[in-house]
Amino acid sequence: MTSKEYFEHTATSIASLNRLEIERRLTNFKGRFKLDFTPEYLNKLSLDKLRHILLAAMMYATGRN
């Protein structure tokens, strides 16, 4: 899968997730780095910002940036 295809697939998958699932994935993220967000902080962010953070983390973690 090319980087563009991976990005499109991942972005589409994230877009279909609800807020609770995105927050769960962010708090349990297993990548090359640790994400350390409190539930209070995540609750303050818009759904679009949460999606952006998850997408960026996934792209960086896989080295497809």
Confidence (pLDDT) at 64: 56
pLDDT digits (tens, 9 = 90+) for 1-19: 788 888 899 999 999 999 9
**Is 65 a residue whose pLDDT tops 80?**
no
Is 35:57 a contact under the CB 8 Å cutoff?
yes
Residue among 40, 36, 63 at smallest CA distance from 53? 36
**Cα radius of gyration (the chain):** 12
Q: Give dist(CA 63, CA 14) in Å, integer.
A: 18
pLDDT digits (tens, 9 = 90+) for 20-55: 999 999 999 998 888 999 999 999 999 999 999 999
pTM of the model: 0.86
Spell out the domain ranges in the chain.
3-62
